[in-house]
Chain A
Amino acid sequence: MGEVHDGWSPEQGYAAWSDAQLVDAVGASDRGALHELFARHEPWLATRLSRRCADRALVDTAVQDTFLAVWRKPQGWRGEGDVAAWLWGIAVRSLLHQLRPRANVLERLRNLRSSPATSAEEEVLARVEHSDVGVAFARLSPDLQAVVQATVLDGLTTREAAALLGIPSGTVKSRMSRARTELREALL
């Protein structure tokens, strides 16, 4: 790290590039663009991952795997939505991979298909804090909150949420349905 101004390249210009431009440049093996992406997104990605997993070593590996994936397969970004959301999708799955290193082939294929797209629910949640939903969410028990967070916020599938939280898939499903019921009751 540490961008030293050494006189070789007076105007690097990465700062003015959009995230999408940076990902394009990474596609052309531009290491400087990767560095800029890293500087922009590593802090929040690492913090968000740390909130899901207390083990720093696992978070470090997940961060590294995320940007390695960006470096090696920048074409995974299809130019839709936010680069940040794409990065989070890779990051949370990298973390899952750490937690569950021996996922079978079938599951990996399933993971590939479920795109880390941001859901409409997230947009609602972005302004949820002062709303009735927010109050209702806050009243849920921590167990139910964790399930809602993993599925709705992190965009994970039931299986992935189960792996992240260390509980069976069936429990995720039943807790999710309980959370849904409680939220509905609180709001209606």
Chain B
Amino acid sequence: MTQTWHADEEALRAWADGSAAPVPAASLEAHLLRCDECRRRMAALAPATPGSDVVRRWDALADRIDRPRSNPLLRLGLATPGLRAAWLTSILLLLTLPVVVSVLDVRLPVFMALAPVAPLAAVALAYGRHAEPAGELALATPTAGLRVVAARAVLVALPAVPVGVGVALLLGLPTAIALGWLLPGAALAALVALSGTTRLDPSVVAATLGSLWAVAVSWPAASRRVPADVVSHLVASAPAQLTALVVALAAIALTVARRDTVAYRRTA
């Protein structure tokens, strides 16, 4: 739009300090909505110097907008796509497993065979190179090593636990079985954590351990020698659970003792 007039400095000043008469003021206000030249003159009247209103108001605004948008815990645990996928997969797995078991009425102890794989995968992924949003930079920080890996694994695996237990109970699986996978899962996860302190690749160890567990649990039932729930109850029995607990604690203790090697590597 072509402007027919511009406000002079005197008029702008009178408006700014409130001494302008109503009509010129109303006229100027309407004019300012469409004239960037006069807005510029208006801004020039009160330059941005330290302590001026415009600086003070900007600082207050900046204080509001300059906040990280996501939660620190989420950034530690679920930031990268790989971790988010793992988290979702483990929850989905634990959500669908009991449904599959009860709907299909399979002969295999599917739930017992696969549920412990969720925490195991979480630990393996937490060790993964791509799990760290800051990449190699993170290795030179005081929390580098087992502390951050453990925090990440717990953050990824923990939400899966109530989901797995809850859904299994909801669908009428016996309490012993709904809870029975937790200690074997913890033991397997702890073994993967331990492998991270050695030269072994945690993801390979996780894949191997996971498959071994699944095969070991489903083999007797698959070969039709024993019914599925006998195996499940065997896993849930006190001696098996106690063994899992001992393995988990021993592996965790060893991992903590060897934590040094996680962040101070002798290889590239």
Direct A–B touching in the complex (beta carbon < 8 Å)?
yes
Residues of A that sit less than 8 Å from B by CB: 1-2, 19, 31, 34-35, 38-44, 46-48, 50-51, 60, 63-64, 67-68, 71, 82, 84-85, 88, 118, 122-123, 125-129, 134, 137-138, 142, 145, 149, 153
Question: How many A-B pairs fall under 8 Å by CB?
Answer: 110
Cross-interface CB contact of B16 among A47, A71, A149, cutoff 8 Å: A47
Collect the chain B residues with CB atoms within 8 Å of residue A40's CB: 36, 39-40, 43
A178–B68 Cα gap in the complex (Å)? 53
Most buried by B among A1, A48, A71: A1
Flag if A1 contacts B54 (CB, 8 Å): yes
Q: A47 — nearest CB in chain B belongs to which residue?
A: B16
Check: B142 CB closer than 8 A to any chain A CB: no
Collect the chain A residues with CB atoms within 8 Å of residue B45's CB: 43
A48–B31 Cα gap in the complex (Å)? 12
Cross-interface CB contact of B33 among A50, A118, A127, A149, cutoff 8 Å: A118
Flag if B65 contacts A137 (CB, 8 Å): no
Cross-interface CB contact of A126 among B31, B46, B48, B55, cutoff 8 Å: B31
Flag if B58 contacts A1 (CB, 8 Å): yes
Interface residues of B in 193-209 (CB under 8 A from A): none
Check: B260 CB closer than 8 A to any chain A CB: no
Flag if B27 contacts A60 (CB, 8 Å): no
A71–B61 Cα gap in the complex (Å)? 10
Flag if A43 contacts B25 (CB, 8 Å): no
Flag if A41 contacts B57 (CB, 8 Å): no
Check: B32 CB closer than 8 A to any chain A CB: yes
The smallest beta-carbon distance between B30 and chain A, in angstroms, is 4
The secondary structure that dominates the A interface is helix
A74–B60 Cα gap in the complex (Å)? 19
Check: B29 CB closer than 8 A to any chain A CB: yes
Flag if B30 contacts A68 (CB, 8 Å): no
Q: A63 — nearest CB in chain B belongs to which residue?
A: B57
Collect the chain A residues with CB atoms within 8 Å of residue B26's CB: 125, 128, 137, 149, 153
The smallest beta-carbon distance between B216 and chain A, in angstroms, is 51
Flag if B32 contacts A84 (CB, 8 Å): yes
Q: Enumerate the 10 nearest inter-chain pairs by beta-carbon distance, A residue then B residue, closest first.
A: A126-B30, A1-B55, A129-B27, A43-B43, A122-B30, A44-B42, A1-B58, A125-B30, A138-B23, A84-B33
A40-B36, A42-B54, A43-B43 in contact; A50/B21 too (CB < 8 A)?
no
Collect the chain A residues with CB atoms within 8 Å of residue B33's CB: 82, 84-85, 88, 118, 122
Flag if B29 contacts A68 (CB, 8 Å): no
Q: 13 A-B contacts, Cβ less than 8 Å apart? A: A1-B48, A2-B55, A38-B54, A41-B39, A44-B42, A46-B53, A51-B25, A68-B65, A125-B30, A129-B23, A129-B27, A134-B23, A153-B29
Check: B50 CB closer than 8 A to any chain A CB: yes
A125–B36 Cα gap in the complex (Å)? 18
Collect the chain B residues with CB atoms within 8 Å of residue A41's CB: 39
Collect the chain A residues with CB atoms within 8 Å of residue B56's CB: 60
Collect the chain B residues with CB atoms within 8 Å of residue A153's CB: 26, 29-30
Q: A126 — nearest CB in chain B belongs to which residue?
A: B30
Collect the chain B residues with CB atoms within 8 Å of residue A129's CB: 23-24, 27
